[in-house]
Amino acid sequence: MTKTTVEAGNAVTIHYKGTLEEGTEFDSSHKRPEPMVVVVGTGQLIEGFDNALNGMGVGESKTVTLQAEDAYGPRDEEANVILGKDAFPDDFEFTEGMSVPLSGPEGTFMATLSDITDETVSADFNHPMAGKNLTFEIEVLNISKDDIVAEDEEDET
């Protein structure tokens, strides 16, 4: 009997825990009611995590550390924009570190606010995990060998 292993196109049921370099947990599927189901090789996961699943078998666990380039990419210091507070609703309450959706000619993007002054606010369009090396503990619970394509989901980024 041959061992079934993960390959592109498989729907895979997994549990995972993600931590930063100093050990702080930033995400875990164990805290949700159900494990996560993803289709490998379709862009649903960051590249390094997706690649780490390839070749794993049911019941197999592994820990991988991804460099920023294989996770959410390096920080782009040019992805910071200074905005006038008048671009926001009059009753908007500015909070350092808050994430807000901002619309522009190319669509809506999430930004993190910082450097709040009386007149302006800095909006950082980098992903909050950009520039960080991430460690994931991954456990494969199930593999569906049926090639599944999620046709009703489109990448909005």
Each residue's pLDDT tens digit, 13-29 = 999 999 999 999 999 99
Looking at residues 112-136, what average pLDDT do you find? 95
Comparing CA positions, the residue from 86, 102, 109 lying closest to residue 156 is 109
Residue 136 has pLDDT above 90, yes or no: yes
Dist CA 47 CA 68 (whole Å): 11
* pLDDT for position 146: 59
Q: Which CATH number does the domain 77-124 belong to among 3.40.50.300, 3.30.2130.10, 2.40.10.330, 2.40.128.110?
A: 2.40.10.330
Each residue's pLDDT tens digit, 29-59 = 999 999 999 999 999 999 999 999 999 999 9
Q: What is the pLDDT confidence band of residue 6, given thresholds at 50, 70 and 90?
A: very high
CATH 3.10.50.40 assigned to domain 11-73+129-144? The reply is: yes
Cβ atoms of residues 4 and 58 within 8 Å:
yes
Dist CA 98 CA 114 (whole Å): 8
Dist CA 135 CA 128 (whole Å): 15
- Give the start-to-end residue ranges of the domains of the chain: 11-73+129-144, 77-124
